[in-house]
Structure 1
Amino acid sequence: MINFVEELFNAEVKNMTDLKAEHEIGFSEGRAEGRAQGFAEGKTEGAAEERKKANEERLEMARASLAEGDSIEKVTRIFKLSESEVLAVQAKPAAQSK
């Protein structure tokens, strides 16, 4: 009887281990598919338009910050722009930006 219980217990442990492995594999595959889908959607034209608009807004905020007297170093740090981008923003009047 003890051997039977031990064999039953070992079989249940093996089944649980197999189920856990299947779950982890399925989760990994699902996550990979989700990332691939998200990446594909991120490449769409709409996403490019959104990124362009967000970048334009960032440049406009940098221009306003410079107009308020903030230093070039501060603007590059806050808006994550290169120094050449900030200098270009500074040189370009606000009326021409639109």
Structure 2
Amino acid sequence: MSNQRAFNNFTEFYPYYLEEHSDATCRRLHFLGSLLVLLVAVWALTSGNPVWLLSLPVIGYGFAWVGHFRFEKNRPATFQYPLYSLMGDWVMFRDMLIGRIRF
């Protein structure tokens, strides 16, 4: 039997996603990884060197997974809910930028 919960849509998933990111250090690492992904993507596109785009998954997931395994002590939602988790990363990033979620 699977431990995977069923979500009908992202709106149902997001509260679960936030529960999985209750540790402030984990959230900060997610934020830093997402910010670096944006900066490296801009650099890759403006420098004319798109090979930098290959580093984006390593940067984004690297910071996030350190946060989960080291600080949150849980398994990243990416493994069970890859699309919703990716969406959650960017919604949480926005929510932290606008102050809806504390760093």
Q: TM-score, normalised by structure 1?
A: 0.30
Q: TM-score, normalised by structure 2?
A: 0.29
Task: Name the structure, 1 or 2, with higher relative contact order (CA <8 Å, separation 6+).
Answer: 2
Largest Rg, 1 or 2: 1
